[in-house]
Amino acid sequence: MTFFVCGSSYSSGDGLLNRLEQRWSTIFSGLINEDVENYAKDGGSTDFVIYTTIKNVLKNDYKKVIITWPPIDRIMLVRRENNFLIEGNATHTNNLYGNQEEFVKFLSLYYKNWTNDLFTLKITLQKILLLQTWLQNANCQYLFINTNSYNLSNWLNLNNLPIKVKKSMLDAFDNMDDEQILAEQEEIKMLVSQLNLNIYDPIKFDLTSFCTNLNLIDPKTQHPSAEGHKNIAEYVFNLWSKSYLY
């Protein structure tokens, strides 16, 4: 049965000389001895992953799904006149329309005035929970892995952090009292408690830290090297085997 893979550049193979052959999903396919369809996109956002996953699982009836969640600051927009998907974040965009001056100006204003790390995290966790439930209802086996750290260890202990650290994390810190900060911490704890932590550990594990600790990030591309993709494939294979084969 064919595996479905979706994520951003760590799964699409950005930076590799031959991404189709060297990326971890291809290596994983050989390890698991099953076909893998990779829908990951350079610069992909959480919304892109959810949209693409539901669309293609429904269309192709995939029953084995692996998601590598992108950094949470990215946004997906759609051009009105042609349904062209645009992915962007605070520092760059990754396609034709993203280079247009109007879009660059929009992103600058959006990230300056209309983003909030606290709510971005909470909304992202809600979206992950929604896809988790959807996949369970579709009788899919699934594996979620974070590409980057969500800094959850700090968010889960928000009330006990030094004021300087809290201020760096909470954009509206000066407008929040201790009761509000505690309430935010408890809300995040509630969301995390609903995650299937048996096969998904966003607190202790992410692919960037995994590759960095093993010196497997290419300094030129800031993405996993070919050896890094081999290690990711082995990690995913072992985790999948532990979760579903044994």
pLDDT at residue 97, rounded to an integer: 57
- Kindly state whether residue 165 falls inside one of the protein's structural domains: no
pLDDT at residue 95, rounded to an integer: 57
Domain total of the chain: 1
- Kindly state whether residue 204 falls inside one of the protein's structural domains: yes
> Strand runs (DSSP E) across 79-127, as ranges?
85-88
pLDDT at residue 101, rounded to an integer: 78
C-alpha to C-alpha distance for 12 and 25, rounded to whole angstroms: 9
- Kindly state whether residue 63 falls inside one of the protein's structural domains: yes
Name the strands in the sheet holding 64-69, side by side, starting at the edge strand that comes first in the sequence: 36-38, 3-6, 64-69, 141-146
- Kindly state whether residue 87 falls inside one of the protein's structural domains: no
CATH number at residue 122: 3.40.50.1110
- Kindly state whether residue 169 falls inside one of the protein's structural domains: no
- Kindly state whether residue 181 falls inside one of the protein's structural domains: no
Write the CB contacts of 27 (distance below 8 Å, at least 6 apart in sequence).
229, 230, 233, 234
As averages over each run of 10 residues, the pLDDT of the chain (246 residues) reads 96 96 98 98 95 98 98 90 82 61 84 93 98 98 96 95 95 94 97 90 95 97 97 97 85
- Other C-beta atoms within 10 Å of 195: how many? 17
C-alpha to C-alpha distance for 191 and 203, rounded to whole angstroms: 13
- Kindly state whether residue 155 falls inside one of the protein's structural domains: no
- Kindly state whether residue 17 falls inside one of the protein's structural domains: yes
pLDDT at residue 106, rounded to an integer: 85
pLDDT at residue 229, rounded to an integer: 98
pLDDT at residue 230, rounded to an integer: 98
- Other C-beta atoms within 10 Å of 160: how many? 11
- What is the span of the domain harbouring residue 26? 3-73+117-150+199-245
What is the pTM assigned to this prediction? Answer: 0.94
